[in-house]
Chains A and B, each alone.
Chain A
Amino acid sequence: MTTENKEKYNFKPILGLAIVSLLICGLFFPLIVTGIAQVFFPYQANGEIVQFNGKPIGSNLIAQTFTMPIFFHPRNDSASGVDPDITLQDAYSQIPAISNATGIPVDSLTSIVNQNQEGTWWIFGSPYVNVLKINIGLIKQYSTVYSEFSIS
Chain B
Amino acid sequence: MIDAIQAFAVIFILGVTIFVARLLAPYITRVYSRVPSRLDKLLNPVEKFIYKICGIDPNHSMGWKQYFLAGLLLNVAQMVIAFLILVFQGKLPLNPMGFPGLNWDLALNTVISFATNTNLQHYNGEATLSILSQMTAIQFLQWTSAATGICMGIAFVRGFIVDSKNMGNFHVDFVRTITRILLPLCLIASLVFVVMGVPQTLSASTTLTTLQGTTQTILTGPVASLDSIMQLGTNGGGFYGANAAYPFMNPSPYSNIFMISLMLLLPTALIFVFGELLGKKREARPLLWGAYIIFGIALALAFIPNIPLVAQGIETRFGGFMSNFYTVTTTAATTGSVNTALSAMHPLTITSGFLGMFIQSIPGGKGIGLMYMVMYIIITVFIVGLMSGRTPEYLGIKITGRDVKLVMVAFLIHPIIILIPTIIAYASGAAAAIGVGGTSVGYTQILYEFTTSAANNGSDFLGASGNTPFFNIATAIVMFIGRYASIAILLALAGSMIGRKSGGTTGLKTESPVFTIVLVASIIILVVLAFFPFLALGPISSFFRGLMNGF
Most interface-central of B9, B240, B317, B344 (chain A CB within 10 A): B317
- Interface segment among A26-34, A96-104, A107-115: the answer is A26-34
- The interface residues of chain A lying within 8 Å CB-to-CB of B322 are 125
Q: Does B537 contact A (CB under 8 A)?
A: no
Considering only residues 120-161 of chain B, those with a C-beta below 8 Å from chain A are 135-137, 139-140, 142-144, 147
Question: How far is it, in angstroms, between the C-alpha of A19 and the C-alpha of B77 when the chains are bound?
Answer: 9
Tell me, in angstroms, the Cα distance from A105 to B54 when the chains sit together. 72
Which listed residue, A21, A27, A55, A59, touches B209 by the CB 8 Å rule? A55
Partner of B140 from A21, A57, A81, A125 at Cβ < 8 Å: A21
Contact residues in A for B388 (Cβ distance below 8 Å): none
Q: Is A144 an interface residue (CB 8 A)?
A: no
Known: A16-B55, A123-B5. A82 touches B246 (CB 8 A): yes
Q: List, in ascending order, chain A residues with CB within 8 A of B341's CB.
A: 79
Within the assembled complex, what's the spacing in Å between the Cα atoms of A12 and B190? 34
Do residues A77 and B313 form an inter-chain contact, with CB atoms below 8 A?
yes
List A residues 118-135 near B (Cβ within 8 Å).
119-121, 123-126, 128, 132, 135
Q: Which of B62-70, B286-294, B431-439, B478-486 is found at the contact surface with chain A?
A: B62-70
Q: How far is the CA of A21 from the CA of B79 in the complex (A)?
A: 12
Cβ of A13: which chain B residues have Cβ within 8 Å of it? Answer: 54-56, 70, 171
8 Å CB contact of B313 from A2, A41, A78, A87: A78
Chain B positions within 8 Å of A93 at CB level: none
Bound form: Cα–Cα A15–B137 in Å: 16
Alpha-carbon separation in the docked complex, A32 to B254 (Å): 24
Asked if B60 contacts A33 (CB within 8 A), the reply is no
Query: Which one of B77, B139, B257 has the greatest number of beta carbons of chain A within 10 Å?
Result: B77
Given A13-B171, A124-B254, decide whether A30 and B139 contact each other with a Cβ distance below 8 A. Answer: yes
Q: Is B39 an interface residue (CB 8 A)?
A: no
Closest to B54 in A: A16
Q: Does B73 contact A (CB under 8 A)?
A: yes
* Docked-complex contact A80 and B242, CB < 8 angstroms: yes
**A123, B257: Cα distance in complex, Å:** 12
> Which residues of chain B have C-beta atoms less than 8 A from A15's C-beta?
77
Compute how far the CA of A48 lies from the CA of B62 in the bound complex, rounded to whole angstroms.
Answer: 50
The answer to whether B319 and A61 have CB atoms under 8 Å apart is: no
Whether the Cβ atoms of B316 and A83 lie closer than 8 Å is yes
Set of chain B residues within 8 Å of A12, measured between Cβ atoms: 54-55
Residues of chain B within 8 A (CB-CB) of A128 are 316-317
Which residues does chain A contribute within 8 Å of B178, judged by CB atoms?
A: 21, 24-25
Contacting pair B242 A79 (CB below 8 A):
yes
Q: Would you call the interface of chain A mostly helix, strand, loop, or mixed?
A: mixed
Q: Is B505 an interface residue (CB 8 A)?
A: no
**Is B218 in contact with A62, judged by CB distance below 8 angstroms?**
yes
A137 lies within 8 A of chain B by Cβ = no
Contacts known (A26-B140, A45-B200, A87-B316); A80 close to B195, Cβ less than 8 A: no
Cβ-neighbour of A27 out of B57, B135, B174, B248 (below 8 A)? B135
Task: Tell me the minimal C-beta distance from B352 to chain A in angstroms.
Answer: 18
A79 B206 Cβ-Cβ under 8 A: no
Across the interface, which residues of B come within 8 angstroms of A16, CB to CB? 53-56
> Is A44 in contact with B216, judged by CB distance below 8 angstroms?
no
Give the docked Cα–Cα distance between A36 and B225 (Å).
11
Of A11, A17, A46, which contacts B206 at CB under 8 A? A46
Partner of A25, one of B144, B194, B216, B321: B144
> For residue B199, which residues in chain A have a CB less than 8 angstroms away from its CB?
44-47
Question: Nearest Cβ distance between residue B312 and chain A, in whole angstroms?
Answer: 5
What are the residues of chain B within 8 A of A62 when measuring CB–CB?
216, 218, 247-248
Closest to A128 in B: B316
Which residues does chain B contribute within 8 Å of A41, judged by CB atoms? 194-195
Across the interface, do B316 and A75 meet the contact criterion of CB distance under 8 Å? yes
Contact A57 B66, beta carbon cutoff 8 Å: no
Chain B window 42-86, contacts with chain A (Cβ cutoff 8 Å), 1 for yes, 0 for no: 000000001001111101111101100110011001100100000
Q: B252: CB under 8 A from chain A?
A: yes
Shortest CB-to-CB span from A58 to chain B, Å, is 5
Let me know if B315 and A79 touch, CB within 8 A.
yes
Do residues B220 and A47 form an inter-chain contact, with CB atoms below 8 A? yes
Task: Using CB atoms, name the residue of chain A closest to B46.
Answer: A24
List of A residues within 8 angstroms of B257 by Cβ: 124
Chain A residue numbers with a CB within 8 Å of B321 are 126
A85–B143 Cα gap in the complex (Å)? Answer: 33
Which B residues lie within 8 Å of A81 (CB)? 242
- Residues of chain B within 8 A (CB-CB) of A22 are 78, 81, 136, 140
Q: Is B201 an interface residue (CB 8 A)?
A: yes
A74 CA / B174 CA spacing, docked (Å): 47
Q: Does B428 contact A (CB under 8 A)?
A: no
Question: A151 at the A/B interface (Cβ < 8 Å)?
Answer: no
CA distance A5 to B62 in the complex (A): 7
Considering the chains assembled together, what is the distance between the CA atoms of A44 and B248 in angstroms? 10
Q: How far is B250's CA from A79's CA once the two chains are assembled, in angstroms?
A: 12
Q: Given A18-B78, A21-B143, A83-B247, A29–B183 Cβ distance below 8 Å?
A: yes
Question: Shortest Cβ distance from B179 into chain A, in angstroms?
Answer: 8
Given contacts A2-B166, A4-B61, A38-B201, contact A80 B245 (CB under 8 A): yes
Q: Is B203 interfacial (CB 8 A cutoff)? A: yes
Contacts of B457 in A (CB 8 A): none
A121-B313 contact given A14-B74, A66-B211, A135-B211, CB 8 Å threshold:
no
Chain B residues in 8 Å Cβ range of A80: 240, 242, 245-247, 315
15 contacts between A and B (CB under 8 A): A5-B61, A17-B54, A18-B81, A21-B143, A21-B174, A24-B183, A29-B183, A46-B201, A48-B197, A64-B210, A78-B313, A79-B242, A79-B344, A83-B317, A149-B211
Residues of A within 8 A of B (CB): 1-6, 9-22, 24-27, 29-30, 32-34, 36-38, 41, 44-49, 52, 55-62, 64-68, 71, 75, 77-87, 89, 119-121, 123-126, 128, 132, 135-136, 139, 149
